[in-house]
């Protein structure tokens, strides 16, 4: 499949792009927001498409045209305010879902946040972030797309273990970004993840086994 990674310049995005580039199963394009992000992807031999999540649905649809799958791993980042979170994590996600439907892309993987589906478990300090994730996820579920929603716990910049725990509801825990990227990669064609959502943290079960069995 040809996969477009939205948010490719982020930490999870860069790891995922590399996994896709090295695979025999898929090809990859990195969706970037501005031209100065292109140099990195050129250096590793990955094609880029230019689109801004604060732009129009038509612009995003044009950028992803021809793709067979989308991974949305974009985010406004912790240094921005609630306004940017709503514009990127919510409206940007919704516009990408609309663009995927418009462009005829069927497969859509969303990177969300642990317990985003349960309001009573949201972190009060970043409640606006959970609101954005919650409603973007709900919009995706109600779309025509073949979705998977991955809700990882606290993200670590550590080497992945390749072993995870997934379920509809999990207690708060952490997981390396490398393992999140590996879960996304494995989910692309894993039918047991189609039209399903799950919390994700580090655990004791190999990734592909966990995805097949949950």
pLDDT digits (tens, 9 = 90+) for 198-211: 999 999 999 999 99
Single pTM value for the model: 0.96
Model pLDDT, residue 118: 97
In sequence order, the 6+-apart residues with CB closer than 8 A to the CB of 134 are: 116, 117, 119
> Which pLDDT band holds residue 76 (cuts at 50, 70, 90)?
confident
In sequence order, the 6+-apart residues with CB closer than 8 A to the CB of 22 are: none
pLDDT digits (tens, 9 = 90+) for 126-142: 999 999 999 999 999 99
Model pLDDT, residue 203: 98
Model pLDDT, residue 81: 76
Model pLDDT, residue 132: 94
Crossing angle of helices 93-103 and 127-141, in 10° steps, is: 20
Residues 55-84 have a mean pLDDT of 90
CA 163 to chain centre: 19
Asked whether the predicted pLDDT for residue 124 surpasses 80, the reply is yes
Q: Cα–Cα distance between 211 and 214 in angstroms, integer?
A: 6
Report the candidate in 139, 137, 114, 142 with the shortest Cα–Cα distance to residue 200: 114
**What's the whole-number average pLDDT of the chain?**
96
Q: Which residue has the higher pLDDT, 84 or 70?
A: 70
Model pLDDT, residue 67: 97
In sequence order, the 6+-apart residues with CB closer than 8 A to the CB of 23 are: 185
Model pLDDT, residue 19: 98
Range with the lowest mean pLDDT among 104-113, 121-130, 136-145? 121-130
Model pLDDT, residue 119: 95
Q: Cα–Cα distance between 73 and 152 in angstroms, integer?
A: 11
Asked whether the predicted pLDDT for residue 80 surpasses 80, the reply is no
β-bridge pairing 69-72 and 2-6? parallel
User: Which tokens in the block code for residue 85?
Assistant: 């979170």
CA 176 to chain centre: 15
Report CA-CA distances (Å) from 214 to 130, 171, 179, 187, 193.
24, 16, 17, 12, 9
> Which stretches of the chain are DSSP H helices?
11-22, 38-43, 57-64, 82-85, 93-103, 127-141, 177-187, 207-213
> Which pLDDT band holds residue 78 (cuts at 50, 70, 90)?
low
Residues with catalytic roles? 129
Residues 10-35 have a mean pLDDT of 96
CA 86 to chain centre: 16
Model pLDDT, residue 213: 93
User: Which tokens in the block code for residue 134?
Assistant: 């919650």
CA 173 to chain centre: 19
Helix (H, G, I), strand (E, B) or coil at 191: helix
Model pLDDT, residue 75: 86
């Amino acid at each position: 499949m040809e996969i477009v990674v939205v948010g490719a310049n982020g930490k999870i995005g860069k790891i995922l792009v590399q996994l896709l580039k090295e695979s025999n199963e898929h090809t990859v394009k990195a969706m970037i927001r501005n031209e100065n992000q292109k140099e990195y992807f050129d250096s590793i031999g990955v094609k880029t498409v230019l689109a801004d999540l604060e732009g129009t649905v038509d612009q995003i649809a044009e950028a992803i045209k021809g793709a067979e799958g989308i991974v949305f791993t974009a985010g406004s980042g912790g240094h921005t305010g609630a306004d940017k979170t709503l514009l990127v994590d919510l409206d940007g996600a919704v516009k990408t879902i609309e663009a995927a439907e418009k462009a005829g892309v069927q497969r859509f993987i969303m990177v969300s946040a642990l317990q985003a589906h349960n309001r009573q478990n949201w972190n009060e300090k970043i409640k606006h972030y959970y609101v954005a994730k919650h409603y973007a996820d709900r919009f995706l579920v109600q779309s025509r797309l073949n979705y998977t929603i991955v809700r990882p716990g606290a993200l670590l910049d550590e080497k992945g273990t390749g072993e995870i725990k997934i379920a509809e509801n999990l207690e708060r825990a952490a997981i390396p970004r490398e393992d999140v990227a590996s879960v996304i990669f494995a989910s692309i064609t894993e039918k047991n993840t189609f039209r399903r959502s799950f919390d994700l943290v580090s655990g004791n079960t190999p990734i592909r086994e966990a995805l097949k069995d949950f």
